[in-house]
Amino acid sequence: MLVLVAPGQGAQTPGFLTPWLELPGAADRLAAWSDAIGLDLVHYGTNADADEIRDTAVAQPLLVAAGLLSATALGDVTPGAVAGHSVGEITAAAFAGVLDDDAALALVRKRGLAMAEAAAITETGMSALLGGDPETTVPHLEKLGLTPANVNGAGQIVAAGTLEQLAALEADKPEGVRRVVALKVAGAFHTHHMAPAVDALAEAAAGLSPADPKFTYVSNKDGKAVATGADVLARLVGQVANPVRWDLCMETFKELGVTALVEVCPGGTLTGLAKRALPGVPTVALKTPDDLDAARALVAEHLN
């Protein structure tokens, strides 16, 4: 069974969309989306520097647009399941037909703006912990006032909180943690710091008419498969202030019988986790169009 996944914030790098815009129709689609949401995705995906695309209000629409462009280039794919990490859940909702591409871009634009506004209230951030055991790490984070905002599996947890709390973590690592790596994000996402964004996103979602997913949609909230579009949308709203349980998503992939996994652009993060948590499952990360042939071959071999 093939699983199609979409990465979250922090996966973006300067110029990462440049080669994708050489594909037929891609530049026109990105320009049309740019006009629709009032954000120059072409500029940010090709010429902007790392600081510009670190901005939450920019990064989130850029990532969803990249995922949609690369999935279109992959061709007509019918996966057994779809999922996305954090903002990648909106990309996955579009894959599953819960939202059309235009609605997904409009929703993620509002999500990014609302989360950027919430992040501006207090200086916050996120750091990945490399190594350690969750049973030891999570209580240690809570002792420091931090939230285990992303429980990614494969031994990786991302902590989120104020910059002071993250500095305290650097000085006082949990037992077994080798390194603490600051992430390229501009706030403590998936924590109580994002509560103000929930209301704004709920208001934006109220005007949408979601369809039920065409493929199995696996939610970050609890790793469960979600059957209705209304439930998918409700989870997308609430998830901005709640931890991402990617570990549970991968457990569900196992239960569903995953035999292959493709990660859309800018791929790499989720395939890296899958290689450790889903040993023996072949993966392809779409980083540039040069990866499309390998992905198509994998898709052809593992489609249901």
> Is the same domain home to 100 and 128?
no
Active site residues: 86, 190
Which pTM does this prediction carry? 0.94
Mean pLDDT computed over 63-83: 96
> Is the same domain home to 82 and 142?
no
Mean pLDDT computed over 276-281: 95
- At 9-58, the pLDDT tens digits run 989 999 999 999 999 999 999 999 999 999 999 999 999 999 999 999 99
219 phi-psi bin (left φ>0, alpha ψ -120 to 50, beta other): beta
CA 71 centroid distance within chain? 15
The H or E element that residue 275 is part of is: helix 269-277
> Is the same domain home to 78 and 199?
yes
Mean pLDDT computed over 217-227: 97
Q: What is the number of domains present in the chain?
A: 2
What percent of the chain stands above pLDDT 70?
A: 99
Please give the residue range of the domain that contains residue 94: 2-120+191-302
3-state helix, strand, coil in the chain (%, to 5): 50, 15, 35
- At 95-108, the pLDDT tens digits run 999 999 999 999 99
pLDDT at 250 over 80: yes
> Is the same domain home to 197 and 94?
yes
Alpha carbons within 13 A on the beta-carbon side of 241: 16
CATH number of the domain at 220, please. Answer: 3.40.366.10
Of the pLDDT bands very low, low, confident and very high (cuts 50, 70, 90), residue 185 is confident
The first and second tokens of residue 298, run together, are 């994998």
Domain boundary residue among 152, 182, 212? 182
Whole-number pLDDT of residue 155 = 78
Of the pLDDT bands very low, low, confident and very high (cuts 50, 70, 90), residue 162 is very high
> Is the same domain home to 41 and 177?
no
- At 116-159, the pLDDT tens digits run 999 999 999 999 999 888 889 999 999 999 999 999 987 789 99
Identify the three-state secondary structure at position 21: helix
Give the closest residue to 85 by CA, choosing from 268, 301, 258. Answer: 268
> Is the same domain home to 132 and 90?
no
> Is the same domain home to 56 and 199?
yes
Whole-number pLDDT of residue 87 = 97
Give the closest residue to 3 by CA, choosing from 292, 276, 252. Answer: 252
Of the pLDDT bands very low, low, confident and very high (cuts 50, 70, 90), residue 304 is low
Give the closest residue to 304 by CA, choosing from 212, 217, 213, 216. Answer: 216
Distance CA 250, CA 270 (A): 10
CATH number of the domain at 140, please. Answer: 3.30.70.250
Mean pLDDT computed over 240-264: 97
The first and second tokens of residue 252, run together, are 């569900």
CB 201 within 8 A of CB 114: yes
> Is the same domain home to 197 and 169?
no
